[in-house]
Structure 1
Amino acid sequence: MQFSQRPDFLRSFWDHAFNLESHLAEFLDLDMATLAAQLEDRRYAVADVYHHFDWDLVADFYRDHVGSAYLFELAAWHLGSQDYIGTTLCLIADHAKGRVLDFGGGIGTHAIAAALCPQVETVVYLDINPVNRAFVQHRLQQLGLEHKVECRGEIEPDETFDTLLCFDVIEHLPDPSHQILNFHKQLVADGVLILNWYFFKGFNNELPTHMDDPEIVATFFRTLQHNFLEVFHPYLITTRCYRKMLHGV
């Protein structure tokens, strides 16, 4: 395995985060000064609508109540952490191939990076938030990548993928172990799963929609370890890479 150090086909991420600020300003019809102020003020924008949150209705919350709040929160994080997120993109460049699913793709950074990887044939960007999907569709059109990335709100239960991406999503699910089992079904035998998690609500509860129940978290790790084998990578990031266990083989 040849590990990537800022591959040329991803260089525009370090230059301007794939034109994120200009795409966001265009999509929201904001001037750049107003956008900059909004990015600073709404770093924890989802917490502002937390009064709608219910673990039994998580999908409804992210589909119907979050609206554009996540655009600001994710954009502020991606613009303020380009080296860290860029390293995650290097990991994607090392392993992504074939048909890719970006599960809960947010503002589209990882789907765009995957689409630029030469070993990737097509990307399915999946997000239940219609505002996120519309924004990412706008980005893809601006970048000329709409032919390679399909934006969806759901996938068929029998669809399979060569590469699964899941970033900053698992901790928002009431049953993360269930999603790990779904990933195991959706991944082809020699595919890779690249994901991270953050089971922590923050030191001052600034991340109130994160799962931190000890029993649920412990079950998640047992399920992950029973169904996937970790693949080493040299990058100092929280994201991990896995191949699926083939039970009974």
Structure 2
Amino acid sequence: MLSFPIPVFFSSYWNNSFHLEHHLQTFLNLEPDLLQAKLLAGQQKMSDLGQNDFQWETATEFYNNQVGSNYLFDLASFHLGSQDYIRDTLCLIADQADGKVLDFGGGLGTHAIAAALCPEVTQVIYCDINPIHCEFVKYRAKKLGLEDKLTCSPQFTTTETFDTILCFDVLEHLPDPTQQLLDFYNVLSSNGKLIVNWYFSQGLNNEFPFHTEDPQVIEKFFRTIQRHYLEVFHPYLITARCYKKSLEPII
């Protein structure tokens, strides 16, 4: 398997995921044993919540009010157990991100932190509708000395322009991922980059009941991305893709 050089400004990530586990423990005031138990149960807890409480008509309320800290443990369990995969995603960010960055639906803030560490990046706006996620990322930014470069917002604004947009593991949670692609297109600078992935599947055993897998929604999404964006090749064996804005979208 290819091993890519690690950007020196990410050196603190490779051993401890930007101190993720320690940040979770201190932010939530958990004993180490209890934290480990919650990390182990993370995905199942989210799956149970989704199967019992999730409806597309109330998706925003579900992520805003019902999820609470459960998604932190689900995401953290994945990040801590998939560091090689996350590493290559961060290398892609290091290669492509510059200027003003939007991290849309940023979860734990790992990608926003990575962007803030990139020397070509001037500002990072982290956006997530879950208020606990926002508070956690504010806490992490302060602990890492990045609070002047990384700011948090619960809402995506369409009045600003961004040079780089990050959106990881979010689009499949939206009832209309195509509209989000168009919103990104409208706020992306003419030379901007969109770094994004998606997972339009509810899993083999319905472990992701809050993901859309509607064939019509997915087809509309792919037709839209082909019309409005041009893919930029990268060498990393990850799901994330990089696009530049097509200045003459195909109609």
For the aligned pair, the TM-score class normalised by the smaller chain equals: over 0.9
Q: What is residue 5 of structure 1 aligned with on the other side?
A: 5
Give the SS at the match of 1:91: helix
Distance in 1 between the 2:190 and 2:89 partners?
23
Report how many aligned residue pairs link the two structures.
246
Q: What is residue 165 of structure 1 aligned with on the other side?
A: 166
Distance in 1 between the 2:61 and 2:224 partners?
26
Preserved contact between residue 191 and residue 244 of structure 1 (Cα < 8 Å): yes
Distance in 2 between the 1:13 and 1:231 partners?
25
Q: Deviation string for 1:48-71 (max 9, x for gaps)? A: 222221112211111111100110
Give the SS at the match of 2:163: strand
Q: What is residue 241 of structure 1 aligned with on the other side?
A: 242
Q: What is residue 175 of structure 1 aligned with on the other side?
A: 176
Q: What is residue 27 of structure 1 aligned with on the other side?
A: 27
Distance in 1 between the 2:62 and 2:156 partners?
19
> What is the deviation of 1:6?
1.2
Amino acid at match of 1:244: K
Identity, % of aligned pairs?
Answer: 54
How is 1:65-84 mapped onto 2 (pairs within 5 angstroms)?
65-84=66-85
Preserved contact between residue 25 and residue 35 of structure 1 (Cα < 8 Å): yes
Distance in 2 between the 1:88 and 1:42 partners?
22
> What is the deviation of 1:45?
2.5
Does 1:126 find its partner at 2:166?
A: no
Give the SS at the match of 1:59: helix
Closer, same or farther: CA 11–248 of 1 in aligned 2, 3 Å: closer
How is 1:57-206 mapped onto 2 (pairs within 5 angstroms)?
57-206=58-207
Distance in 2 between the 1:82 and 1:136 partners?
19
Closer, same or farther: CA 30–219 of 1 in aligned 2, 3 Å: same
Preserved contact between residue 45 and residue 72 of structure 1 (Cα < 8 Å): no
Distance in 1 between the 2:44 and 2:231 partners?
32
Preserved contact between residue 200 and residue 207 of structure 1 (Cα < 8 Å): yes
- TM-score scaled by structure 2? 0.95
Amino acid at match of 1:96: A
- TM-score scaled by structure 1? 0.96
Q: Deviation string for 1:132-157 (max 9, x for gaps)? A: 00111111111111110010001332
Amino acid at match of 1:84: Y
Distance in 2 between the 1:217 and 1:47 partners?
22
> What is the deviation of 1:11?
1.8
Closer, same or farther: CA 248–55 of 1 in aligned 2, 3 Å: closer
Amino acid at match of 1:6: I
